[in-house]
Amino acid sequence: MATTVQPTTRERTSVPAAATPWYRDRNRQLIVAAIAVAAVGLIAWLLMSSARRKEEFAARSLNQARAAAEAGNLPLASSELQKIIQTYKGTDAASEAVITLNQVRLVNGQSELSAVGLRDFLATKPDAKYAAPAYGLLGAAFENAQKWPDAGDAFSNASKAADLPYLKAHYLVDAARAYREGGKTQQAIAAYREIIQKYPKTTTKVPMMMIRFASVSELVTAPTAKAKRNTAIRIPVTISRSRSCAIALVPSPAT
């Protein structure tokens, strides 16, 4: 008689465990992060390399334009400088091209056009190393147009933007001259006084500044003198490290 064997256990089907999402896998996270960092670095390198090449091309074009100007081919120089300004905007060479272009315009007698271009450039708030010469050229353009007070203001701004003492003094000399021509006596006096007080060692023309200061001051003090007196104002002026002298400013006696 056949016997049957009853199964004592049931077969259990094994259910595979759920796979971990890739974004929770730490190894994959590290790989993705490394790829992202490498991509950012590559993009940054490409941008820097592109900017460097752009600056190099702009500088090369600027040198060619300047060479044309020095050779006397001013129309070609102007054309090339305008291309640099438009094509390489934002580079140092483009800012230098603006300065050079307006120098060329001044040489060509285009003072009004130069003034417009320089004011537009200064409105963009350029770096001080470009603002100072731009203001200086603007002052020259105003002088050519005999707009003396405007020229004085431009030269004063150039002095403020300049970073070297001798340049500050140089622009103040120009400002004082323009103010004198425009009848702005007080501004001229202030400019001469600033040169004497702040920059006595930057120029060999300090004694001349004192003489001009005296002559301009007399224009102001003489009409208001009420008593006949001869008062000497002594202002010390450093001539060299070894000695100093004082220049007497003697107002004309009141009559």
- 104 or 33: which carries more pLDDT confidence? 104
Residue 93: give its domain's CATH number.
1.25.40.10
Residue 191 placed within a domain:
yes
Q: How much is the pLDDT for 147?
A: 96
State how far the Cα of 243 lies from the Cα of 92, in Å rounded to an integer: 44
- Cβ pair 157, 133 in contact under 8 A: no
- Cβ pair 98, 121 in contact under 8 A: yes
> Other C-beta atoms within 10 Å of 211: how many?
14
Structural domain harbouring 137: 55-226
What percent of the residues of the chain are helix, what percent strand, and what percent coil, each to the nearest 5? 65, 5, 30
Note the pLDDT tens digit of each residue in 213-228: 656 655 554 444 333 3
How do strand 244-249 and strand 233-238 relate by DSSP bridges? antiparallel
Q: How much is the pLDDT for 227?
A: 35
User: What's the pTM?
Assistant: 0.65
Note the pLDDT tens digit of each residue in 27-72: 666 666 667 676 666 566 555 665 677 778 888 989 998 898 888 8
Residue 74 placed within a domain:
yes
Q: How much is the pLDDT for 17?
A: 53
Domain count, the chain: 1
